[in-house]
């Protein structure tokens, strides 16, 4: 029997500027916490490499936006930064990484509404990154297309659905992943009921085209679904788009349909912990141009590695 992965857990508490450290192996939340009983809360998941948390500002900004959508008052960004730094430092001190490849931590920020009538509950959790994400970056993934059950205009029409917020209500996302695994696939790309490409349960969709211009130069275009279609704005997608633009790539935002995925030279799912995972097959059909996909994955991965 393998021992559980070491976890550092620190609650944000005004009496403890660097966080109130708690035993992650012991119960810490009341059963009446609304995050437990209703999934009423928000979260962010970040990756720390070599002790440095990547894209922290973008994640803190998105956490604040998600909280605002839920009318949830959360600690300020300086408080989060102090506790994040302390949690990462403590984990690395107590669990020195075996090598550089293993020096990755998943840093999760969570806020629940707490017990009815009380203050919200907020904490930082630091734990080792799993090997599965690294493996999928290297070997790629197979995905299936699933209907999300909403049309692409619902986010604007029904903002109370919170489609653009990163909430704790992830039961549907996890059910979609379990369904994919039962079908022999690794992941999912959601479609709207009107046939638009949306996102993965825990990731953003990217695709690329490589073309020759009239003067013979190579044009590389990176495309993602429209952000107003009810998807979560990806911090990784935003950072990679900025880096790709600086490197001379053209950028585009949907609308995308399934045929755009099958017609692309390369497709990826990108997220903060798994990073850039090439999509090998969609619904069992091989997609992309393998040689181009390999080349573009290496180029974009190098650009993404330089983002902090």
Taking only the tens place, the pLDDT of each residue in 206-264 is 999 998 877 878 899 999 999 888 898 899 999 999 999 999 999 999 899 999 999 99
The pLDDT confidence band at residue 2, using thresholds 50, 70 and 90, is low
248-287 per-position pLDDT tens digit:
999 999 899 999 999 999 999 999 999 999 999 999 999 9
Q: pLDDT category, 1, cuts 50, 70, 90?
A: very low
pLDDT at 79 over 50: yes
SS3 labels along 264-291: CCEEEEEECCCEEEEEEEECCEECCCHH
* Cα gap 108→31, rounded to integer Å: 21
Q: Strand 275-282 vs strand 285-286: parallel, antiparallel, or unpaired? A: antiparallel
With beta carbons less than 8 A apart as the criterion, state whether 264 and 287 touch: yes
Q: What is the pLDDT of residue 121?
A: 96
Residue with more model confidence, 1 or 97: 97
Percent of the chain with pLDDT over 90: 80
- DSSP sequence for 158-191: -GGG-TTS-BS--HHHHHHHHHHHHTT-SEEEEE
What average pLDDT does the segment 174-203 reach?
96
- Note the pTM of the prediction, 2 decimals: 0.92
């Amino acid at each position: 029997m393998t021992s559980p992965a070491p976890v550092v857990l620190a609650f944000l508490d005004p009496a403890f500027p660097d966080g109130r450290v708690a035993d992650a192996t012991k119960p810490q939340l009341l059963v009446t916490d609304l995050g437990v009983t209703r999934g009423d809360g928000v979260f962010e998941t970040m990756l720390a490499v070599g002790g440095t948390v990547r894209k922290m500002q973008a994640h803190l900004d998105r956490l604040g936006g998600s909280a605002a959508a839920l009318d949830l008052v959360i600690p300020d960004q300086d408080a989060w930064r102090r506790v994040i730094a302390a949690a990462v430092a403590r984990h690395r001190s107590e669990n020195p990484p075996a090598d550089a490849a293993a020096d990755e931590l998943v840093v999760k920020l969570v806020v629940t509404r707490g017990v009815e009538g009380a203050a919200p509950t907020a904490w930082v959790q630091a734990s080792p990154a799993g090997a599965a994400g690294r493996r999928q970056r290297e070997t790629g993934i197979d995905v299936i297309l699933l209907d999300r059950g909403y049309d692409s205009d619902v986010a604007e029409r029904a903002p109370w659905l919170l489609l653009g917020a990163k909430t704790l209500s992830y039961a549907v996302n996890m059910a979609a992943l379990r369904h994919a695994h039962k079908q022999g696939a690794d992941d999912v790309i959601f479609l709207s009921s009107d046939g638009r490409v949306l996102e993965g349960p825990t990731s953003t969709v990217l695709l690329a085209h490589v073309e020759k211009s009239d003067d013979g130069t190579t044009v590389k275009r990176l495309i993602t679904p429209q952000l107003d279609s009810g998807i979560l704005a990806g911090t990784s997608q935003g950072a990679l788009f900025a880096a790709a633009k600086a490197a001379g790539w053209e950028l585009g935002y949907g609308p995308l349909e399934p045929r755009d995925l099958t017609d692309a030279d390369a497709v990826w799912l990108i997220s903060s912990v798994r990073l850039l995972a090439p999509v090998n097959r969609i619904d069992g059909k091989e997609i992309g141009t393998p040689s181009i996909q390999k080349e573009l994955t290496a180029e974009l991965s190098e650009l993404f590695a330089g983002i902090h």
